[in-house]
Amino acid sequence: MLLAITSSTLMISMFTYKTYLSWTKCSLSLMLISFLSVTMLYQSTLSFYTPNMMFMCDQLSSTLTTLTIWISALMMIASTKIFNSSINTKAFTLNLLLLTLILLMCFNLSNFISFYIMFESSLIPTLIMILGWGYQPERLQAGMYLMLYTIVASLPLLLTLMILLNMNGTVSMILPYSSIQIFTNPILLLWWMMSILAFLVKLPIYLFHLWLPKAHVEAPIAGSMVLAGLLLKLGGYGMLRMSYLYPSLIFKLSPMMNSIALWGGVITSFICLRQSDIKSLIAYSSIGHMALVIMGISLLSNWGWQGALVMMISHGLSSSCLFVLANMTYESTHTRSMFLTKGLLSLFPAISLWWFILSIINMAAPPSINLFAEISLFISAIWSSYYYMIPLGSCSFLAAAYSLYLFTSTNHGSYNQLFNPMTIFPSNIYTLCLLHTLPIFTLIMKPELMNSWF
């Protein structure tokens, strides 16, 4: 089923591009495939399904594949401004579909070398999207940050994969590996830390996060959606797969990684409270949420792994929708400043309702799957050490604080006199918000579709 849906997505997408169908038909085709891909969430068996030597599928892969197709369809719908202004429409469509195909292959390949190639290949369409359809001239600097952080951090991973291939004769994600005898203990831990650094930078962990707010601020709406919704999930997916190889090394490194990630999440949460740029605030909030994913993966518990996957899905949907709202607000007010964007509640109460819903989802309010993810991750942290509750409690409290700060700053107060109250938000914003939030509130009724994969 997975290969059939993936191949049909490619066929419909390339047919759409080559025959130059309209953007509406392309969006409808992707939405049809995304609705069909929801059936992939149900897996009759939790074991790996390998149709051939190159591809595999389990519930982890199928869940992230569904998220990829869903977000890609919403990216197409959200990019109405590009299609209405006819700014290289065909090139943008082809670039977006190529990125979707690369991500689909990333989540379904059974070989680490092939995964690494697709992992690095995702950088090229993302960079083209930021440089070609970004907003300010600073997008050149943002693209440079994105490229250097990703490439430099991933080189030790390539060396590691070459060593594993030489030792075991394979780099399959499924087959067991022999123990490492070539390094002594301290060097072994340092080597493993450098190996997983590529995934930690992609998540991103604190200290290696500077590329994220720069890329988000300068990217178009589709670029922000794919960064928040999909590319950050590549880091979590890679860490989960690497944890299969040598779980003892991941567990030994967990105190250091979790300390940096969680206290970095606290620091970035305080940064969010001092932000005046809407998109920067949403981008910095992703670092705190992904810190919980790092903690859940490194502790190697059932609760931690299921919470990490659910957090990736919930954050991909909620953060993507927040960027949609921020971009639509920017296109109507022509500013991202919270000091100038005020009074939306008195002008557009329907938009303020969506701002409120997404703000409470961002702070993990019930009945969203964000709450289920945080509960699972908190339980895994308590199992490991009670001291984790200090940074976790701080992150949870500050997440509520900056989410309320984001909502009140943009919606309450009197609107700026320079703002044109006759500005009309595009009508598809309601469809986008509904399709983002619908899975968040419906998957909580059957969470085993996501959390029973291990």
Map out the domains of the chain as residue ranges. Answer: 2-41+51-451
Please tell me what DSSP assigns to residue 201.
H
* Spatial CA neighbour of 198 closest among 151, 143, 254: 151
pLDDT of residue 20: 40
> Residues 6 or more apart from 244 whose CB is under 8 A from it?
173
Q: Is the peptide bond before 366 cis (omega within 30 degrees of 0)?
A: no
Give the DSSP H/E element, type plus range, for residue 391.
Answer: helix 389-411
> Residues 6 or more apart from 86 whose CB is under 8 A from it?
none
Contact between 51 and 3 (Cβ < 8 Å):
yes
The torsion angles phi and psi of 57, rounded to 5 degrees, stand at -155, 130
How far is it, in rounded angstroms, from Cα 182 to Cα 178?
Answer: 12
Give the pair of three-digit tokens for residue 207.
């200290």
* Burial class, 434, CB count within 10 angstroms (exposed 0-12 / middle 13-18 / buried 19+): exposed
pLDDT of residue 182: 61
Please tell me what DSSP assigns to residue 342.
-
Q: What is the mean pLDDT of each run of 10 residues along the chain (454 residues)?
A: 46 43 57 61 57 76 88 86 77 88 90 92 92 83 90 91 83 70 73 90 91 89 90 92 85 91 95 92 94 93 91 94 90 82 83 93 91 93 90 94 93 73 72 91 85 70
* Cα dihedral 260, 316, 9, 40 sign: positive
Give the pair of three-digit tokens for residue 258.
């979790």
pLDDT of residue 1: 44
DSSP 65-84: HHHHHHHHHHHHHH-HHHHH
Q: Specify the residue for token string 């000091």.
A: 339
pLDDT of residue 334: 78
Chain-centroid distance, C-alpha 293: 11
Helix axes 89-106, 112-121, angle to 10 degrees: 160
Give the DSSP H/E element, type plus range, for residue 437.
Answer: helix 428-442
> Residues 6 or more apart from 286 whose CB is under 8 A from it?
212, 228, 232, 315, 319
How far is it, in rounded angstroms, from Cα 396 to Cα 147?
Answer: 32
* Spatial CA neighbour of 439 closest among 112, 13, 98, 69: 69
pLDDT of residue 15: 42
pLDDT of residue 46: 52
